[in-house]
Amino acid sequence: MTNFKITKGKNDFKDIEFVRKTIFIDEQKFIDEFDEIDSTAYHVAGYENNKPIVCARFFCDGNNEYHIGRIAVLKEFRGKGLGSEIVKFCENEIKKLGGKSVSLSAQVRASDFYKKMNYNTTGEVYMDEHVEHIKMTKEL
């Protein structure tokens, strides 16, 4: 079990920034990784030996629908269940906040991962920068 730490906004953001920059900018070549949502979202970082190895964020859109995003696991730690562990952690935190449903913008190549966690695809495939994505939802 990973040690998770949750923060709100950009307080104590350096560990989140490290994981996201490593995965989304350096590895996957996204350009617009950081946005205005970062300043109000909840951010979750997972650690092993005090090193950040996984992260995610979640936020409410104002209509009591929550969104989980920016889920990233450092390459050397993939395949160990950390992705599902952090998604479940976020879902539990959302439930505590009164959330009843959650959505995410999944990279199409990762959609089977989310389907195994009972997420359903909604709508059509769309491009986010250079990568195909699809909206997925789940009732909590």
Pair of tokens at residue 108 = 């199409």
Q: Looking at residue 130, what DSSP letter applies?
A: T
Buried b (16+ CB within 10 A) or exposed e, 16-52: bbbbbebbbeeeeebeebbeeebeebbbbbbeeeeeb
pLDDT of the residue at 97: 93
- The pLDDT tens digits of the residues spanning 18-51 come to 999 999 999 999 998 999 999 999 999 999 999 9
State pTM to two decimals. 0.94
Residue 86 has pLDDT above 90, yes or no: yes
| Other residues' Cβ atoms within 10 Å of the Cβ of residue 97 | 11
What's the whole-number average pLDDT of the chain? 94
Average pLDDT value for residue range 56-85? 93
Nearest residue to 83 (alpha-carbon basis) of 50, 44, 120 = 44
At 1, is the pLDDT very low, low, confident or very high (cuts 50, 70, 90)? low
Average pLDDT value for residue range 94-114? 94
Cβ distance 33 to 21 under 8 Å? yes
* pLDDT cut 90: percent of the chain above it: 89
